[in-house]
Homo-oligomer: A and B are copies of this chain.
Amino acid sequence: MNKVEIIPVKGLPLVDEGFCVGEAIVEALARSGERLRDGDIIVVAHSIVSRSEGRRIRLSDVKPSPLASKIAELMNKDPRHVEVVLQNSRRIVRMGREVVICETEHGFVCANAGVDASNSGGAEYVITLPIDPDKSAERIRNEVKKASGIDVAVVISDTFGRPFRKGAVNVAVGCSGINPLRDRRGEKDLYGRTLLPKVICIADELASAAELVMGEGDEGIPAAVIRGYSYDRANVPAKAVVRNESEDLFR
A residues near B, CB below 8 A? 1-8, 10, 14, 47-48, 94-96, 99, 101, 108-109, 117-123, 159, 162-171, 180-182, 184, 187-191, 193, 195-196, 198-202, 204-206, 208-209, 211-222, 226, 229, 240-243, 248-251
Q: Determine the distance from Cα of A195 to Cα of B209 in the docked complex, in whole angstroms.
A: 21
Task: State whether A200 and B163 are in contact (beta carbons under 8 Å apart), knowing that A47-B190, A214-B1, A217-B188 are contacts in the complex.
Answer: no
Q: Determine the distance from Cα of A119 to Cα of B196 in the docked complex, in whole angstroms.
A: 11
Task: State whether A189 and B1 are in contact (beta carbons under 8 Å apart), knowing that A163-B248, A166-B201 are contacts in the complex.
Answer: no
Cβ-defined contact, B213 with A2, below 8 A: yes
Q: Which residues of B contact A5 (CB under 8 A)?
A: 3-6
Q: Which chain B residue shows the least CB distance to A226?
A: B212
Q: Which residues of B contact A187 (CB under 8 A)?
A: 215-217
Cβ-defined contact, A8 with B3, below 8 A: yes
Q: Shortest 4 CB-CB distances between A and B: which pairs?
A: A167-B201, A209-B209, A163-B250, A208-B208
Task: State whether A189 and B119 are in contact (beta carbons under 8 Å apart), knowing that A166-B201, A209-B209, A242-B164 are contacts in the complex.
Answer: yes
Q: Which residues of B contact A171 (CB under 8 A)?
A: 165
Q: Which chain B residue shows the least CB distance to A203?
A: B167
Q: Determine the distance from Cα of A222 to Cα of B190 in the docked complex, in whole angstroms.
A: 8
Task: State whether A189 and B212 are in contact (beta carbons under 8 Å apart), knowing that A205-B170, A240-B166 are contacts in the complex.
Answer: no
Q: Determine the distance from Cα of A22 to Cα of B211 in the docked complex, in whole angstroms.
A: 27
CB distance from A39 to the nearest CB of B (A): 13
Q: Which chain B residue shows the least CB distance to A249?
A: B94
Q: Which residues of B contact A166 (CB under 8 A)?
A: 181, 199, 201, 240-243
Residue from A8, A159, A204, A206 whose CB has the most chain B CB atoms within 10 Å:
A204
Cβ-defined contact, B2 with A8, below 8 A: yes
Q: Determine the distance from Cα of A138 to Cα of B62 in the docked complex, in whole angstroms.
A: 52
Q: Determine the distance from Cα of A107 to Cα of B184 in the docked complex, in whole angstroms.
A: 28
Q: Which residues of B contact A122 (CB under 8 A)?
A: 191, 193
> In the complex, given contacts A1-B10, A167-B202, A208-B208, what are 12 additional A-B residue pairs having Cβ atoms less than 8 angstroms apart?
A14-B191, A99-B249, A118-B193, A118-B198, A164-B248, A168-B198, A188-B216, A189-B217, A190-B220, A202-B212, A205-B209, A250-B250
